[in-house]
Amino acid sequence: MDIRLLIYFKTIVKHRQFTRAAEELHISQPSLSNAIKGLEQELGCKLFERSTKKLILTEPGQILYRHACKVLVHFENIHKEMSDAKNVGAGNISIGMIESYRYFIAPIINRFKKAYPNIHIKIREMGPKEIERSLKNYDIHIGITSKKNDEEEYDYKPIFQERYVLITPINHSFEPLSNIDITDLKNEMFIHSLEGFEVRNAINKTCQEAGFTPNFEYEAESLETARSLVEAGLGLSIVPESFMEHYPIKKVKLVYLNNHLPKRTVYFVYQSQRYLLPAIKDFMKIAADYSPLKRI
């Protein structure tokens, strides 16, 4: 089956008519119609129910469309990987990273650029789910995430491990304390950051074992937003320790929890079957060597 026919077929499904599809493909409508008739003859089934208003996919057409989308993505990704393979020492590296890693990335890039001055680096901040989706779509080469799953298509390489800490407003009753027990949080309001779903589950479990359910009053898009809500006295939040170590403004108080919450591991993640430029492997090595939080 010619890959060109799958492109034609997918474009027709997109527009639900031959005229607009032919315009996008820059071919004549009769040529497009003949190509699809030939595809139907090759497969031995009708792909479209034709009416005066629009085209409707038949059941075989729906099956072909599902597979065509996957094949065309893989076809496009072949070109991307071949381009990467040709551009050793040059080209582009795209990185998707969680918000909290922003405090490490600048000095790492500075060291990397000394070895690879001709490589252009694109950095995007995104959540763990978006990182996985971007890896699957080949929109990024590698991700930096705090969430690990068991899917075989991804490989994870730990960078560093750290504690979670509690942050409170300056005028809070915990302000003079350096450590508290989990039971001290019974009547407190929590502000949750979307980056920390794992720790939220851990807090829920720990608090319930201590005899109460924590009150998550607010949900913030980012750690920065969570911290600003804490500053305003709207509640407390639990954040990665590195976030506070690198944040210069002292408008909140850091307090350690005596109870053992699971530590947070930050990983590189990449597709296990994708070709990785030597430069990307060197970037990961530089990042692992640089990290000041080597607690793995």
Q: Name the region of 189 (left: φ>0; alpha: ψ -120 to 50; beta: rest).
A: beta
Q: Strand 48-50 and strand 55-57: pairing?
A: antiparallel
Side chain identity at 119, as an amino acid letter?
A: I
pLDDT of residue 291: 65
Distance of CA 254 to the CA centre of its chain: 28
Closest CA to 96 of 61, 142, 65: 142
Q: Cα separations (Å) of 48 from 5, 57, 60, 70, 101? A: 14, 5, 9, 20, 49
- State the fold for domain 88-160+265-290: D-Maltodextrin-Binding Protein; domain 2 (3.40.190)
Phi, psi of 256 (to 5 degrees): -90, 145
Q: Strand 264-271 and strand 120-125: pairing?
A: unpaired
**Residues paired with residue 237 on neighbouring β-strands, in sequence order:** 167
| pLDDT tens per residue, range 136-153 | 888 899 999 988 888 788
Collapsing DSSP states into helix, strand and coil, what is residue 162? strand
- Is the pTM higher than 0.85? The answer reads no
pLDDT of residue 245: 74
pLDDT of residue 86: 59
pLDDT of residue 175: 82
pLDDT of residue 83: 67
Q: Cα(60)–Cα(43) distance, rounded to whole angstroms?
A: 9
**Residues paired with residue 256 on neighbouring β-strands, in sequence order:** 179
pLDDT of residue 162: 87
CATH assignment of 3-84, given 3.40.50.2300, 3.20.20.70, 3.40.50.1370, 1.10.10.10? 1.10.10.10
pLDDT of residue 293: 55
Collapsing DSSP states into helix, strand and coil, what is residue 219? strand
Q: Which helix (H) or strand (E) holds 254?
A: strand 252-257
pLDDT of residue 229: 93
List helix spans (H) across the chain. 3-15, 18-25, 29-43, 59-86, 102-115, 128-136, 197-209, 223-231, 241-245, 278-290
Q: Cα(160)–Cα(149) distance, rounded to whole angstroms?
A: 17
Domains 3-84 and 164-262 fall in the same CATH topology: no
| Domain edges within the chain | 3-84, 88-160+265-290, 164-262
Sites in the chain below the pLDDT cut of 70: 51-53, 77, 79-90, 195-197, 246-249, 259-260, 291-296
Structure token digits, residue 194: 């979307």
Q: Cα(193)–Cα(288) distance, rounded to whole angstroms?
A: 26
- State the fold for domain 164-262: D-Maltodextrin-Binding Protein; domain 2 (3.40.190)
| pLDDT tens per residue, range 26-44 | 999 899 999 999 899 999 9
pLDDT of residue 296: 41
